Each structure stands twice: as structure tokens, then as C-alpha cells.
Amino acid sequence: MSKQTLGFNRALGDMAEALNSDITASEKLHLLVRATARALGVRGCSLMLLDAQRMRLFHTASHGLSERYLKKGFLEVERSLTEVLGERVVAILDVATDPRIQFQELAQQERITSILSVPVKIKGEVVGILCVYSRTRREFTAAEEQFLTTVANLAAVVLESGRLNEVEMRPREAKDEPSSHPTPLTSQLKPATFAHPSEEDFARLLDFYQIEWIYEPRSFALQWEGKATEMFTPDFYLPALDLYVEMTTLKPGLTREKNRKVRRLRELYPEVNIKLLARRDYDRLLAKYGHGPLAGAKTHGVGRVLLSAPQVQKRVRQLAKEISHDYEGRHPVLVGVLRGVFCFMADLMRYLTVPTDVDFMAISYYGGESGKAVRVTTDVGINLEGRHILLVEDIVDTGMTLSFVLSHLKARNPASLQVCTLLDKRVRRLADVHLNYVGFEVPDEFLVGYGLDYQEEYRNLPFVALMQEEKPESQVKDAKKHLR
């Protein structure tokens, strides 16, 4: 038996053992790519998966490639790789001259010369590719192609069992619910267990919005003494936002430690985006969708008035003046997302001096506790093709609702699409959305009034107020005196 064949056998043996162990799906995939790179004696190996739209490929598990290379952006399926996705093995002899390479310069800096890729298929359907990168110019042999194809099949098994785990984790009644969206592939890497329940809550929230996520995707070395002596593995990576998220815990000591690590990571890897999310942040996030400890609070009340009724009205008039000026002669369609926006929309429209159409859409987060998607429950009735849309929002928080709604509206081919929001909770933004008109920037607090509710209450307040937990009933009544 040749030395290489022995190496392949050993690698496949290690992989089989890993697949049969109780490590997480993402750990299994990392082991597969590492063992593959070693067995083939190449610089690196990467498993790239297609996103839900099958438009882009992103590195999901990789070995031997620099952070810089991995973060080079996603591969656009249109531009290259159509061959692999067409279920073929693709060999690139020299990245410097091959037109199929999207990041030629970076690949050269990374000292990659030849690449071999094979499709990763789950039950016949291509879900991604497995690539190996060689420093030297290399013509891969048929035996090497065969080996890589075998590893691709093993990776598919891991991905497939990830999908099974996910179904098992859902409550029984949600299992049969038809999903209008395919499950994002990254969610198939959902680990069998999360280190902390709050991480599972967060993953669920991301699923609501169809935001792709990968759990503990990558470890960063923070200190070296010859080899890495301190590593940091952020909890999540959100490919669509190119953002790492680390959850903090309730233990203050640990939080300090995490803060230090995040600071250090930012120093060492300035191109990496990372956000620290505190427990109270995602409790509040989840509360909006009816989940978590804050959502179930029985006694509650209105706290301080943040924006008085006259302040709100004055600002709405100013916004209307700007909008009237900008939309002169364009007869825009105002589109509001129900229900929080109805007060603002009504006032804004009455202050506008240009003729407008008005329509609303409603969305819901469906699937209950295990919700999988944002769904449009009532769509805009007006034909939006070629129209100038002004999307009117009550409040933009993480920006995830807005980015969903915007892509929905864009699909209807308007002539233009702009956003006006009364309130902007900018500090909490996760999705990168552009706001054209903003009434007020507001702090990171739960707000009620002027259309905004807490469990359907407080919408009728003419001002915007801070919501407080555990307030006695009498204070609620006090707050309601401001009504006139």
C-alpha cells in the first residue's frame, strides 16, 4: 500500500470515529477539514455552504487558511463555481491565471496556487463545496479526487444529522408545520446542546428572521508563547451581517473577563466585527416577540415620559415638511408596517403637503416558540411597480424587521424605496439598514405609547414613555392621566 493510501485510510478512520462521537456538528466538520488537509499534504481545506437563496457560498469549517482570507467576502455563485454546483469536480491549476477565481490577489497573497473542489450533496442535492488549497502548483490525481469526494459525503452526513437534531429540538406540535422558507443551511449546524439556554433563545430569535447563524464557528488566538496559549471562541457568527456575537452571562466576574477578551480580539483582529450581547438585551429582544422572562410580567407600568405629546407633534410636522419637499411631484406611496405605526402614520400623512397614497402591511413571526420565519400576513394592496415608496416605521431597533420588509418591497420593483422612522434605537442595531428620515434617536429602553404597545396596552398614549418592570397599578393610572 502506498504511503498516501495509508494516510487516506488513517484519515478516514479518524473521521469515522469523530462522526460516531458526541462532539458537536461543527466540531466534527472542523475535524474533517483538518484531517483532509493533512492527508493530502495541502495548505488548507474549507467546507463552503450555500446560503438559503443559493446565491453565495461561505466558509463554514476550514483549516489552514488565514482569517483575512476567510473573511474576504462570500463567493458569488453566479461568477464562479457554477461548475461545482453543477455537480462536477473542478480543478484549478493556477489561481493567478484562472478566470474563475474571484479573489485572485488575496489568493496569491495567501500563497495558494492550485485548488481542487468537489460538490457536497445531501441526498443528491448540492448544498455546498469542499475545497483544498495547495501552495505549489499541483495536478490532483484521480485517487485524491476520490478521497475528497468521500470526505464530502461524510460532511453531508454531519450536515444531515444536524438537520435531524434541529427537528428533534422543536416542540412536537411545530414539527409538521409547513415552512414557506427552506431552513438556512447554517442552522443545520445547530449543536445538539448549547452551552447556555440564552444561546438557544438567541438562535431562535435569529431563526424568526431567517438570519443565518453558525454556533461557535471559529477560535481566535489571543496570546502566544510559541503556540496559542489563550483562545477565544465567540458564541455565534452571522454570515449575512459579517458579525460575531458573544453572549454575556449573569456572573459579573465572567462579564469582565469577556469584555477583556472582546477588547483584545478587536485589537488583534481589527477587521473582525464582534458584538457583546448582555442578558437583558436579548430578554428585551425576545419580549417583543412574546418570549422570555420579560414577556410574561404580570405587573407593569409606565415609567418616565421620554417624548412629550407636543415634542412628538412638532417633530412629525418637521419630518412632513422635509418629506413634502423631497417628494414634490412624485406622488409617493406611504407604506406602514402594522400595528405600532398607525398613530405616527396618521399624523405624518395629515401634515404632508404632497398628494400620497397610503397602504399598510402586517407581518407576524410564525411557528410559536419554535418560530422559523417572518411572514407577511397582509400585503400591500396597491401596485407598487414603478412607484416611489416611503416605508414608514414606528421604531427601528435591531433593524431585522426592517431589512426583511425592505427586501420584500424591493421585490415589487418600485421606482424608489426610502425609510422614515419616528424612533431609532441606533445603539442596538444588528442589521445594516439605511434610514432616510429619523424622528428621534432613542436610548436602549423598552418604549410604549403613540402606537407602541406592551402586550397591547398603552398604544393610546399621546407621548412616548419608558416602560418599567414591576410598577404598582397606581403608577400605571398616574401615567394614563397624561392622556389629555
Contacts with ligand 5GP, residue ranges (CB under 6 A): 288, 340, 393-402, 425, 446-448, 452-454
Q: Which of 340, 367, 439, 451 binds Mg ion (CB under 5 A)?
A: 340
Q: Which helix (H) or strand (E) holds 396?
A: strand 388-396
- Binding partner selected for residue 188 from Mg ion, ligand 5GP, none, CB under the kind-specific 5 to 8 Å limit: none
Q: Which three cell numbers mark 108?
A: 496569491
Q: What is the DSSP letter of 167?
A: H
Q: CA neighbours within 13 Å on the CB side: how many for 265?
A: 24
> Based on CB atoms, which residue is closest to ligand 5GP, 143 or 362?
362
Q: Does residue 127 contact residue 49 with C-beta atoms inside 8 Å?
A: yes
| Identified catalytic residue from 51, 201, 235, 397 | 397
Provide the 3-class DSSP secondary structure of residue 4: helix
Place of cell 418637521: 318
DSSP one-letter code for 395: E
Identify what 398 binds: Mg ion, ligand 5GP, none; CB under 5 to 8 Å per kind. Answer: ligand 5GP
Q: Is 405 left (phi over 0), alpha (psi -120 to 50) or beta?
A: alpha
| Closest distance to Mg ion from the beta carbon of 379 (Å) | 16
Q: Answer with the entry of ligand 5GP, Mg ion, none that 207 interacts with (C-beta below 5 to 8 A by kind).
A: none
Comparing CB distances to Mg ion, the nearer of 199 and 397 is 397
Answer yes or no whether residue 400 interacts with Mg ion by CB under 5 A: no
The answer, yes or no, to whether the previous bond of 339 is cis (omega within 30 of 0) is yes
Q: Of 390, 396, 441, whose CA–CA distance to 417 is shortest? A: 390
Minimum separation from the CB atom of position 481 to ligand 5GP (A): 20
Shortest spacing between CB 67 and ligand 5GP, in angstroms: 29
Q: Least Å distance between CB 376 and Mg ion? A: 13
Nearer to Mg ion, 116 or 333 (CB): 333
Q: Closest Cα partner for 326 from 441, 436, 438, 402?
A: 436
User: Site residues for Mg ion, window 109-138 (CB under 5 A)?
Assistant: none
Q: Are 386 and 403 in contact (CB under 8 A)?
A: no
Among 25, 337, 431, 465, binds Mg ion (CB under 5 A): 337
Footprint of Mg ion on 300-319 (CB under 5 A): none
Please give the size of the binding site for Mg ion, defined by CB under 5 A. 2
Taking the complex as a whole, how short is the minimal distance between the CB of residue 277 and Mg ion, in angstroms? 21
Q: Tell me which stretch binds Mg ion (CB under 5 A): 6-14, 76-84, 308-316, 338-346.
A: 338-346
- With respect to ligand 5GP, which residue has the nearer C-beta, 83 or 453? 453
d(CA 468, CA 385): 43
Of 340 and 439, which has the nearer Cβ to Mg ion? 340
Q: Which residues contact 434 (CB under 8 A, 6 or more apart)?
A: 419
d(CA 215, CA 434): 28
Least distance from ligand 5GP to the Cβ atom of residue 281, Å: 11
**Under a CB-based contact definition with an 8 Å cutoff, are residues 389 and 416 in contact?**
yes
Tell me the C-alpha distance between 308 and 90, whole Å.
64
Measured distance between the N- and C-terminal CA atoms of the chain, rounded to whole angstroms: 89
C-alpha cell belonging to residue 202: 438567541
- Contact flag: residue 363 with Mg ion (CB under 5 A): no
Instruction: Work out what residue 185 binds among Mg ion, ligand 5GP, none; the CB cut-off runs from 5 to 8 Å by kind.
Output: none
For ligand 5GP, the closer of residues 67 and 359 by Cβ is 359
232 to each of 78, 227, 229, 240, 266, how far by Cα in Å? 35, 14, 10, 22, 12
Q: Is 27 helix (H, G, I), strand (E, B) or coil?
A: helix
Q: C-beta of 294: minimal distance to ligand 5GP in Å?
A: 11
CA atoms of 384 and 337, how far apart (whole Å): 15
405 counts as binding Mg ion under rule CB under 5 A: no
- The span of 214-222, 273-281, 331-339, 360-368 binding Mg ion (CB under 5 A) equals 331-339
Q: Verify whether residue 397 is a known catalytic residue.
A: yes
Selection from ligand 5GP, Mg ion, none that 205 binds (CB < 5 to 8 A by kind) is none
38, 14 in Cβ contact below 8 A? no
| Look-up of cell digits 410574561 | 296
Q: How far is the CB of 361 from Mg ion (least distance, A)?
A: 10
Tell me which of Mg ion, ligand 5GP, none is bound by residue 291, counting a contact when its beta carbon lies within the kind-specific cut-off of 5 to 8 angstroms. none
Using CB distances below 5 to 8 A depending on partner kind, what does residue 288 bind out of ligand 5GP, Mg ion, none? ligand 5GP
Name the residues annotated as catalytic.
Answer: 397
Residues near Mg ion (CB under 5 A): 337, 340
